[in-house]
Structure 1
Amino acid sequence: MDAKTGDVGGCPVPHDGGVRALLGRTNKDWWPEMLATEILNPNGSTNPHGEDFDYAEAFNALDYNGLKADLTALMTDSQPWWPADYGHYGPFFIRMAWHAAGTYRTADGRGGANSGQQRFAPLDSWPDNGNLDKARRLLWPIKQKYGKNISWADLFILAGNVAIESMGGPVFGFGGGRADVFEPERDIYWGSEDKWVNQGVQTRIAPEHGFQQIEGPLAAIQMGLIYVNPEGPQGNPHDDAGMARDMKETFARMAMNDEETVALTAGGHTFGKAHGNGDPSTLGAAPAGSDLAAQGFGWVSGEAHGGIGEHTVTSGIEGAWTNVPNKWTENYFRLLLDYDYELVKSPAGANQWQPIDQKEEDMAPAAWDPNLKVPTMMTTADMQLKRDPAYRAISEKFRNDHEAFKDAFARAWFKLTHRDMGPKVRYLGPEVPAEDLIWQDPIPAGTMPSDADVKAVKDKIAASGLTVSQLIKAAWASASTYRKSDHRGGANGARVALAPQKDWDVNEPQLLAKVIDTLNGLRGSMSLADAIVLGGVVGLEKAGATNVPFTGGRGDATAEQTDADSFAVMEPEADAFRNYVGKKKLAVKTEEMMLDRASLLGLSVPEMVVLVGGLRVLGANHGERGHGHLTKRSGQLTNDFFVNLLDMTNVWKAVDGSGDEEYVATDRAGGHEAWRATRADLIFGSNAELRAVCEVYAEKGGEAKFAKDFVKAWTKVMNADRFDLAGSNAKASAASREPELAK
């Protein structure tokens, strides 16, 4: 690995399709010598606290004020092995918290601070996270003291909040509840590049090569970055248009608009400095590839002075943005807008911008010597807040109205660090803001219907003329939007009846509108959200299912409570559960998209298999598509999909001109057409692991098990967003805020 560029050379493992193409490079690809602990967890991570560990309960027993006091004391407790710049660790912890949260992306809800992933590869070793391993080690004595009562994930963000407060900055609030995981989340696609960020690597937006936007769900501009290359696109400091484009695209994919982007950039850069006052060629490997004796430390300098303090190299850029880097001030915009800047090189060779003829009082103290004055600097990214017309207007506004800037930064920081937590009911602790924010997807509290009301509405739905297929489609369209990554979507709120979801092609808008109009006329005082799910129950019972559970209590959101633009990115490009593929050409195979959707729903392999098989025979395919129906008993909950898929009397062949997306089965003896199917159907007979599960349901006596397992998996999806039913997290959250609510 080249210490200056982060270039690890070509990846030693071929990546030419399959699931690997979906997930991109693995940790083993980047660091072949890494210990493969996943061999001990073939069925997923094991929590050392035990399967019954209740983090919400543990958090609510936390000495919260004591923890904050200890964090405040840590801010100025400089350690000789990693000295605090300006005698204050605050800027360091702000960067740590920012980079823990900043991996979030709206397209699939993955990334973010929600599970403490910054402790693990690849994030712990990304070039953009250089030296944050030291920030985490500085926190260890506090984590050790408070133990299981505070997760690493919560501690990262709370440390950032305390850092801001300790330097006089504005904070909007804090919500705990981020439970730790104990291994890397291996189902996150971080990109397909075989090199980390460096000046010679093509960015993910390259119009000259036909790349008009970032690929798929990715949000950063290059592998190994949180957002953008601060020196400019591919290190070019003169590409202002490209720099502004990269900033707007990446921040938008992380749920930030232009005003939030300016507020975060300016507020974050009000504090601290960048580090490039040394020789980057002497730096050792990142944590994941470091020597055993380094004990997880990365980027260890080989220079005699140890590469700390005055000699620290991280990004390669050197200097503070403001003249008072350890306090919240109004100086960032003044220095940016009032001075002209010239391009210079840092001691480490990085491109940066320096004020021309800077006054001594506007210079910063040296981080290692308060008596020494040094020029401030701006990155190429900072310069866009001055050069881009839209960013400039916002910067001028904030410069002239500091209170507006403070409020905008506090809110944007809160959004940055909480965006992946889902609804506010999941938040824990005494500092949860009372205000409901649109990006939290607020839903009015629902009312639990009585048993009599449930029965009455069920009877009306059953007699309404709505078919099994129609009821199942509507319920699935509503509930299957849930994603475990950021806990958004789901049936609660009935947003399937609101824009944009009601108009998604995958939801068959005209048919969906008919079902919703009918249910609205039948539900009485029951919420529409409950009625849609109850309609699914009726559909299953009509199809022959028994003992289908239903738990009401959902609320109905309004259009005013729905950020339509935010939900628009959740529209499926493909949904194998409904045998749907949109018009857009997919970069990965249909069956890989199915795995991704199942993962976001939190499904196991058997749960995915049983749901697809059941939805096929129930008639849940998009439109009138008969592919994969594989039954003569349409609308009945049978195991026919599995029986007929595995029937060796038929032979399958791709349909000419379908691009290997459609297949036809013909009878081996007579040659007549028996069935039609898609890739998302045939993969269940082709893949050995999926076929093994299908065989269980196709075996003699398997139909009863299939029906039972389908109902269980269906109910899991219907209730995926019912955090009030999960018990501990939601209930403990409300209990932790009782004093505030009482006020």
Structure 2
Amino acid sequence: MDAKTGEMSGCPFHGDGGMRGLLGRTNRDWWPDSLQLEILQQGGRSADPMGEDFDYCEAFNALDYQALKRDLTDLMTDSQDWWPADYGHYGPFFIRMAWHAAGTYRTGDGRGGAGSGQQRFAPLNSWPDNGNLDKARRLLWPIKQKYGKHISWADLFILTGNVAIESMGGPVFGFGGGRKDVFEPETVYWGTEEQWVDTGAETRIIPDEGKALENPLAAIQMGLIYVNPEGPGGNPHDAEGMARDMRETFARMAMNDEETVALTAGGHAFGKAHGAKPSDTFGKAPEGENLHTMGFGWLTDPEEIGKGHITTSGIEGAWTPNPTQWGGDYFRLLFKYDYELVKSPAGANQWQPIDPDPEDMAPDARDPSKKVPTMMTTADMALKRDPEYRKISERFRDDQAALDDAFARAWFKLCHRDMGPKVRYLGPEVPAEDLIWQDPVPAGKQASDSAVADFKRAVLDSGLSVSELVKAAWASASTYRNSDHRGGANGAHIRFDALRNWAVNDPEELGKVLAKLDELRGDISMADAIVLGGAAAIEKAAKDGGYDITVPVSTGRGDATEDQFDAESWEPLEPFADGFRNYLRTKASVKTEDMLVDRAHLLGLSMPEMTALLGGMRALGAVSKHTQHGNSIGVLTDRPGVLSNDFFTNLLAMGTVWEVVDESGDEEFVGKCRLKGDVKWHATRTDLVFGSNSQLRAVAEVYAENGNERKFVDDFVKAWTKVMEADRFDLEYAKYH
């Protein structure tokens, strides 16, 4: 078990051995009677009602930003008869909405977060932790309707949270727009449990049973954003476990201890929790409710709406005596009083100050003439009970300016962590400061055509092989993931030891290649040199196969400095498996071919693109040396280094029979001549799936057909270029700034 991740061999994949292990329970599992719309997908794609030509960034830049903020500010205190505003202010409600939109982000695979407005769709719209946020989103509908295409739901969620904080005197670091909506649930693995947190789901960390939080998950139970506020498994007396759960889950959402404390205290400076009645007094979540509820869920008796009987977490009460005003009351009360364990009206465990002074009582959410005790959750108490959290909390208690700055920065990080490079941020409130978690990269400069040509010639005369150059370029660019837009070739992060030494990169070989490229590159950036080296190798490989091609490369990448590189934050990007290089660290419970599909998805590849890329990488000999057969496994060609469709023709050849290598555990195979019985090829599951899976075989057959040799070369180059250019947001977004 990995001491840092709690995983067997660090494996980020668990499950039943198939794609189910990557998906967990799907919406169809949770709500089998819900309307199924997949049949309307055209060619595997769902229609975007805005059309392919719609440019959201351009539309956002035309937004009357200040008018929108004024309308949102007014909404904070505009009365709505159909849903009550605690203390006459919707601010805390909208902060929770924004927090829960962004708080699904996890570092393990970069999925989750606020980037596409997923809170509108199942399962997130029906998670127990998102109870009644359907009303928050519906309160925003008149504003969304007014501004239309100029503000996405995804941006609106986060901007509304910012405005809510500002309207209550809280600190805000900035806002970056540019999140484009999608119109269907994204495929994300949220876990395998068959129950939600409020219906008996087990906690995901039980040290006594050797149970650790599996990667890439970050929440402690199914249906939660972070932790169970009542304590591990609902146990309020497990102070050590509460701090452990908080530290683990927040770390997996890219937050350190200081950010965790600041976010917890800052978020709980506002509003209240709702547990006035037991959960069995309200109805189903939105996705499972009756048709006539029009998308609302968790409904109570209509006669009680507006009278305070709202249940979400089950915990009841405000944290401070001033729930709609930013200040230092949270920490002041936390340390001023001893707290006793009590039950909320809904039966939840919570903590109440002993003998509070009248001025430290909170107003009733509906009747300001009444005073009620404040409360703390078990999670709040961890900031006092855990030694490390306590040190930070005491510092914030004594230094309000430090808390202001820490909360503003942590909130900004929470809401923008999944947006990728800062160049993707739009709007008048984008902070000027570059932050380390944004993976800043200095601006590069374009190389001249003559410099590129001279460099390519020098590279091909350097003694470096096609395989070595292609592998180096892939190692750099394939770190990209389109979930949170991290990684990629820009910045040349691959040259830093933390990445270069990943086992998948064959570090000794990669180090040799990088050193030679650095020697030859002249004024060309290292980031460009790595990509150009791969392009030169592919052009040579194609020419050796009889095709004169040019691999497109847009130069102008910059080189990140060591000061701009946070090695620890890059650890989750190390691949456990990379089918394109035929790399697998160790056998996992999820099939290797499923991990290939998952990686292709993170690279934004289609099925044909994935197929062409893998076949081309094999032909070029660009495979890992990690397996027992080294750099021959999966290279189904007698002329490695030549860009050809040999992988497909030999994989599908009728004269070859495949047998499993017994000691490989069903991971490696030998291909033997059907007549003579001699071994011709070595391959993995990742290779053979292109002959065994009916859909992948259908694509592979296209590339193996006579007459499609040039098509294969062209398709490989297009897919290769897509990966190499995936992170060129500096070019894509230049016109918006």
TM range (shorter): over 0.9
Structure-2 separation of matches of 1:75 and 1:507: 52
The equivalent residue for 2:11 is: none
Q: Structure 1 segments of 4 or more deviating over 4 A?
A: none
Structure-1 separation of matches of 2:219 and 2:125: 16
User: What's the CA shift string for 1:676-702, capped at 9, x where partnerless?
Assistant: 110111111110000000000000112
Is 1:373 the counterpart of 2:379? The answer is no
Is 1:475 the counterpart of 2:476? The answer is no
Moved more, 154-163 or 199-208: 199-208
Pick from 714, 731, 734 the counterpart of residue 735 of structure 2. 731
Is 1:646 the counterpart of 2:652? The answer is yes
2:60 corresponds to which letter in structure 1?
F
Residue 108 of structure 1: how far off its partner (Å): 0.6
Structure-1 separation of matches of 2:437 and 2:656: 51
Residue 44 of structure 1: how far off its partner (Å): 2.1
Gaps of 5+ in 1: 1-14, 735-743
Secondary structure of the 2:662 match is coil
The equivalent residue for 2:202 is: 202
Structure-2 separation of matches of 1:390 and 1:489: 32
Tell me if the contact between 1:199 and 1:235 (Cα under 8 Å) persists in the aligned partners.
Answer: no
Structure-2 separation of matches of 1:131 and 1:209: 35
Equivalent runs, 1:653-692 vs 2, <5 Å: 653-692=659-698
2:208 corresponds to which letter in structure 1?
E
The equivalent residue for 1:279 is: 278
Tell me if the contact between 1:631 and 1:641 (Cα under 8 Å) persists in the aligned partners.
Answer: yes
User: What's the CA shift string for 1:230-280, capped at 9, x where partnerless?
Assistant: 001111111111111100000000000000000000000000000011232
Structure-1 separation of matches of 2:468 and 2:304: 68
Secondary structure of the 1:195 match is coil
Moved more, 528-537 or 500-509: 500-509
Secondary structure of the 1:567 match is helix
The equivalent residue for 2:50 is: 49
Pick from 334, 337, 341 the counterpart of residue 336 of structure 1. 334
Percentage of identical aligned residues: 69
The equivalent residue for 1:364 is: 362
The equivalent residue for 2:546 is: none
Residue 18 of structure 1: how far off its partner (Å): 2.1
Structure-2 separation of matches of 1:199 and 1:334: 35
Is 1:693 the counterpart of 2:695? The answer is no
User: What's the CA shift string for 1:472-505, capped at 9, x where partnerless?
Assistant: 0000000000000001000000000013111111
Structure-1 separation of matches of 2:177 and 2:200: 41
Structure-1 separation of matches of 2:201 and 2:292: 32
Residue 731 of structure 1: how far off its partner (Å): 2.3
The equivalent residue for 2:5 is: none
Secondary structure of the 2:573 match is coil
The equivalent residue for 2:182 is: 181
Is 1:445 the counterpart of 2:448? The answer is no
Structure-2 separation of matches of 1:44 and 1:724: 28
2:126 corresponds to which letter in structure 1?
S
Structure-1 separation of matches of 2:396 and 2:199: 33
Is 1:718 the counterpart of 2:724? The answer is yes
The equivalent residue for 2:6 is: none
Equivalent runs, 1:509-548 vs 2, <5 Å: 509-544=507-542, 546-548=549-551
Q: TM-score, normalised by structure 2?
A: 0.96
Residue 358 of structure 1: how far off its partner (Å): 0.7
Secondary structure of the 1:653 match is strand
The equivalent residue for 1:268 is: 267
The equivalent residue for 1:248 is: 247
Tell me if the contact between 1:458 and 1:535 (Cα under 8 Å) persists in the aligned partners.
Answer: yes
Is 1:703 the counterpart of 2:709? The answer is yes
Structure-2 separation of matches of 1:577 and 1:182: 30
Structure-1 separation of matches of 2:662 and 2:522: 51
Gaps of 5+ in 2: 1-14, 544-548
Residue 345 of structure 1: how far off its partner (Å): 0.4
The equivalent residue for 2:565 is: 562
Secondary structure of the 1:714 match is helix
Is 1:573 the counterpart of 2:576? The answer is yes
After superposition, the Cα gap between the structure-2 partners of 1:180 and 1:222, relative to the gap in structure 1 and judged at 3 Å, is same
Structure-2 separation of matches of 1:411 and 1:719: 31
Tell me if the contact between 2:128 and 2:198 (Cα under 8 Å) persists in the aligned partners.
Answer: no
1:731 corresponds to which letter in structure 2?
K
1:603 corresponds to which letter in structure 2?
L
Moved more, 79-88 or 195-204: 195-204
User: What's the CA shift string for 1:445-467, capped at 9, x where partnerless?
Assistant: 00011111111111111111110
The equivalent residue for 1:602 is: 604
Structure-1 separation of matches of 2:294 and 2:410: 36
Residue 329 of structure 1: how far off its partner (Å): 1.2
Structure-2 separation of matches of 1:521 and 1:174: 42
Equivalent runs, 1:95-244 vs 2, <5 Å: 95-186=96-187, 188-198=188-198, 200-211=200-211, 213-244=212-243
Tell me if the contact between 1:300 and 1:307 (Cα under 8 Å) persists in the aligned partners.
Answer: no
2:134 corresponds to which letter in structure 1?
D
The equivalent residue for 1:34 is: 34
Tell me if the contact between 1:577 and 1:612 (Cα under 8 Å) persists in the aligned partners.
Answer: yes
2:335 corresponds to which letter in structure 1?
L
Structure-1 separation of matches of 2:268 and 2:194: 31
Tell me if the contact between 2:194 and 2:201 (Cα under 8 Å) persists in the aligned partners.
Answer: no
The equivalent residue for 2:420 is: 422
Structure-2 separation of matches of 1:90 and 1:573: 43
Structure-2 separation of matches of 1:144 and 1:304: 26
1:48 corresponds to which letter in structure 2?
P
The equivalent residue for 1:11 is: none
Tell me if the contact between 1:300 and 1:306 (Cα under 8 Å) persists in the aligned partners.
Answer: no
Structure-1 separation of matches of 2:554 and 2:454: 15
User: What's the CA shift string for 1:189-208, capped at 9, x where partnerless?
Assistant: 01011111137432111122
2:550 corresponds to which letter in structure 1?
N
Residue 304 of structure 1: how far off its partner (Å): 5.7
2:89 corresponds to which letter in structure 1?
H
Structure-2 separation of matches of 1:16 and 1:588: 7
Secondary structure of the 2:663 match is coil
Structure-1 separation of matches of 2:552 and 2:279: 61
The equivalent residue for 2:292 is: 293
Tell me if the contact between 2:17 and 2:589 (Cα under 8 Å) persists in the aligned partners.
Answer: no
Residue 17 of structure 1: how far off its partner (Å): 4.0
Structure-2 separation of matches of 1:163 and 1:550: 45
Aligned pairs, how many?
713
Secondary structure of the 1:174 match is coil
Residue 305 of structure 1: how far off its partner (Å): 2.9
Secondary structure of the 1:569 match is helix
After superposition, the Cα gap between the structure-2 partners of 1:198 and 1:444, relative to the gap in structure 1 and judged at 3 Å, is same
Q: TM-score, normalised by structure 1?
A: 0.95
The equivalent residue for 1:412 is: 410
Structure-2 separation of matches of 1:151 and 1:420: 16
Structure-1 separation of matches of 2:722 and 2:441: 20
Tell me if the contact between 2:667 and 2:684 (Cα under 8 Å) persists in the aligned partners.
Answer: yes
Residue 625 of structure 1: how far off its partner (Å): 3.0
User: What's the CA shift string for 1:356-399, capped at 9, x where partnerless?
Assistant: 01111100000000000000000000000000000000000100
Structure-1 separation of matches of 2:337 and 2:730: 54
The equivalent residue for 1:622 is: 624
Structure-2 separation of matches of 1:86 and 1:439: 36
Moved more, 193-202 or 660-669: 193-202
Structure-1 separation of matches of 2:484 and 2:53: 22
Structure-1 separation of matches of 2:576 and 2:263: 32
Tell me if the contact between 2:84 and 2:308 (Cα under 8 Å) persists in the aligned partners.
Answer: no
Tell me if the contact between 1:499 and 1:564 (Cα under 8 Å) persists in the aligned partners.
Answer: no
Structure-2 separation of matches of 1:451 and 1:210: 59
When the two chains are superposed, the root-mean-square deviation of aligned CA atoms in Å is 1.1
